[in-house]
Amino acid sequence: MAQAINVNSEIGKLKSVLLHRPGAEVENITPDTMESLLFDDIPFLKIAQKEHDFFAQTLRDNGAETLYIEDLATDVFAKDTAVKDEFLTRFLTEAGYKHGRTFDSLKEYLEGLETKEMVDKIYAGVRKNELDLQRSVLSDLAGSDAANPFYLNPLPNAYFTRDPQASMGAGMTINRMTFAARQPESMITEYIMKHHERFAGTPIWRDRNHTTRIEGGDELILSKNVVAIGVSQRTSSKSIQALAKELFSNPLSTFDTVLAVEIPHNHAMMHLDTVFTMINYDQFTVFPGIFSQDGNINVFVLKQGKDGEVEINRMSDLGKALKQVLNLSELDLIETGDGDPIVAPREQWNDGSNTLAIAPGEIVTYDRNYVSIELLKQHGIKVHEILSSELARGRGGARCMSQPLWRDEI
Ligand SMILES: NC(=O)NCCC[C@H](N)C(=O)O
């Protein structure tokens, strides 16, 4: 079987990447549900799609294959109705439906659609008025569920393909996500990884059947041996340690070091990649707000210890830790918004730190963060600017919107 995934850095030339084009799910965000759906505003879908197409075209123009997760899911379910049936049963069960009237009607409704339409519906959500059940299900009429106009909630964060899974070496983690709003997304990944011929034989370092949480925005591949993982609002220290153990012991893994970086636990900095990205062999973007007054941060170097256990070394200087684990003599940490107390948090909020490297020293980033962009250019970085008026309202940038599947070695 041909290897499907090869990601041994954040910066190797990008050859293949997984995307999701925002769809009807974005138009199912309402002012009441915005917060629980992890949005700060309601994007204008038509423009968001144009911006996303521009992003995808930028990647293709620079030599990357763009694969859409919704197309891969459609391939899987169109090919095998038993797999589609099993997926729907599990999807509805995880959404809280047991066999019975609502479960059966939802399943029948989704099965009755063309497969691509069904996949789009899984993302968009199913409104109650799409099924004719209103007078026979008490929970539709009374109690807290009655207020929700959806039987299946929309998945508007799906265009942030970075998070439900993470390519790592030749394998992948399929993630148990933190919030209910995003948990269903990684089930779609699970079915693609298990059943799409392109991914047959791909090692899964960690699956989603866990109670401890991890999200791809926290998983950064620094080299063939080193991953950095954020201890964040979305990723717990327990899951990092468990993943480290797996990476250190699995013969298919080349990783021997995990750098756990503890960042503030809040919505603006929900993942490590919202405050820190690798853009060249020795250059990184960093948001200064993650450091204490004296410039420190909790960084933990995890290595293989005795008897299959993990050995942990605590540090407080991010630059020193990076130099140590990557064997670098020099390091260029480029501050978002040039470290200005007004510009830095403004540009970080709109994902100025969330750059996607498409080759060493060459990145894609939102056009709106012009102070950071100018600074990056001064540091010798080649910048491809993408449109950001609507996409940014979901609080994620170019790295968040992409899941590399193949990068050339550096
Ligand atoms: N890697 C990332 O930072 N992804 C951005 C995710 C934004 C999305 N609204 C979320 O809160 O999960």
- From 75, 171, 88, select the one nearest 122 (Cα to Cα): 88
Is the confidence at residue 295, as pLDDT, over 90?
Answer: yes
| Residue nearest ligand 1's atom 6 by CA | 396
* pLDDT beyond 70 at 134: no
CA of 279 to the centre of ligand 1 (A): 20
Run of H or E residues at 107: helix 101-111
**3-state secondary structure (DSSP) of residue 190:** helix
Supply the ipTM of this predicted assembly: 0.99
Return the pLDDT at 137. Answer: 72
pTM of the model as a whole: 0.96
Indicate whether 270 pLDDT > 70: yes
Tokens for 89, please give them.
Answer: 């049963």
Q: Are 361 and 382 in contact (CB under 8 A)?
A: yes
Residue 57 CB partners (closer than 8 Å, separation 6+): none
Q: Which of 37, 381, 400, 401 is catalytic?
A: 400
Greater model confidence, 1 or 3: 3
- For residue 367, with 0-12 CB atoms within 10 Å meaning exposed, 13-18 middle and 19 or more buried, which class applies? middle
Confidence grade of residue 128 (pLDDT, cut at 50, 70, 90): very high
Ligand 1: residue whose CA is nearest its atom 5:
396
Residues of the chain above pLDDT 90, percent: 92
Show the tokens assigned to 179: 């919030």
Mean of pLDDT over the chain: 96
Tell which atom from ligand 1 comes closest to the C-alpha of 181.
Answer: 12
> What is the tens place of the pLDDT at every residue in 206-265?
999 999 999 999 999 999 999 999 999 999 999 999 999 999 999 999 999 999 999 999
DSSP string computed for 11-29: SSPEEEEEE----GGGGG-
Q: Catalytic site residue 87?
A: no
- Confidence label for 291 from pLDDT (cuts 50, 70 and 90): very high
Q: For residue 135, what pLDDT is reported?
A: 66
Distance 326 CA to ligand 1 centre (A): 27
309-320 pLDDT, tens digit each: 899 999 999 999
The per-residue pLDDT for range 350-400, each reduced to its tens digit, is 999 999 999 999 999 999 999 999 999 999 999 999 999 999 999 999 999
Distance between Cα 395 and ligand 1 center (Å): 6
Identify whether the C-beta of residue 317 lies closer than 8 Å to the C-beta of residue 299: yes
Tell me if 109 sits within 8 A of 154, measured CB to CB. no
Tokens for 56, please give them. Answer: 């995808």
pLDDT band at 333; cut points 50, 70, 90: very high
CA nearest to 276, candidates 52, 12, 10: 10
pLDDT above 90 for 44: yes
